[in-house]
Structure 1
């Protein structure tokens, strides 16, 4: 099964809390992809870097990721899944817009979300969540 990777993994890796190569080996042979909104979140992190050195490092890291991983656009198929999922979620259980877009991407592809977020993604009906 493929995995849609959430930005929380890359934040954890930058902080030294996650070994990405080891995680990749654990899921060898499975496709890893990014939702387009995750690419945007990562690029925003480049622009928000608090030092020039950190910005340069993040930019290199993100550009390498964007070359290495397939980025899935938020298209009409995913928009339909997103709308259905959002309509099914009780108002008191709503999650952030970006997380729901990532989850809808995974559901549309039949993939799981690979994340460190134990709260938001499990609320999405029918989404398989793999917490790293």
Structure 2
């Protein structure tokens, strides 16, 4: 199954000082297609902008730019918007609020029949029909 990779996975790799190539070792199926949602790219770029020192900013920017140059970034398009609206309404009716970014990432994945690879299962656990996996650290 193809998967979108959540920012939590990239954050863990960056904090460990792992190269982006290490990502190939943590996906559940080593040969599956992986990409990131545009909102994930925004989250990673926000991390660069919020760095607490110039050194950290430079290190983080190099890491994020390597991710963005190597991986496809999928847009939040009309298919994803329709999926997002359906999921939001269903979760709201069940009293299960979900973070706006997480729901947009999930909708981007589900609109394409993809799953999610995340280090934060709880962020996605209430989303019906979403295949969620953790990395094999």
- TM-score, normalised to structure 1, is 0.91
Question: Quick one: structure 1 residues 5 and 110, their matched pair in 2 at CA, closer, same or farther if it must change by over 3 Å?
Answer: same
- TM-score, normalised to structure 2, is 0.88
The CA deviation at 1:15 is 2.1
Find 1:77's aligned residue among 76, 79, 95: 79
Aligned length: 132
The CA deviation at 1:28 is 2.5
Find 1:93's aligned residue among 93, 96, 114: 96
Residue 13 (structure 1) aligns with: 13
Residue 118 (structure 1) aligns with: 121
Question: Quick one: structure 1 residues 53 and 24, their matched pair in 2 at CA, closer, same or farther if it must change by over 3 Å?
Answer: same
- Following the alignment from structure 1 to structure 2, what is the Cα–Cα distance between the partners of residues 56 and 94? 35
Contact map agreement 2:20 2:66 (CA 8 A) in 1:
no
Aligned-pair RMSD on alpha carbons?
1.8
The CA deviation at 1:131 is 1.4
> What pairs up with 1:39-58 in 2 under 5 angstroms?
39-58=41-60
- Following the alignment from structure 1 to structure 2, what is the Cα–Cα distance between the partners of residues 17 and 91? 40
SS where residue 15 of structure 1 aligns?
helix
Larger displacement relative to structure 2 (36-45 or 81-90): 81-90
The CA deviation at 1:93 is 1.1
Contact map agreement 1:9 1:18 (CA 8 A) in 2:
no
SS where residue 4 of structure 1 aligns?
strand
Contact map agreement 1:46 1:59 (CA 8 A) in 2:
yes
Residue 106 (structure 1) aligns with: 109
- Following the alignment from structure 1 to structure 2, what is the Cα–Cα distance between the partners of residues 106 and 123? 15
> What pairs up with 1:23-42 in 2 under 5 angstroms?
23-25=23-25, 26=27, 27-42=29-44
Mind listing any 5+ residue stretches in structure 2 that lack a counterpart?
A: none
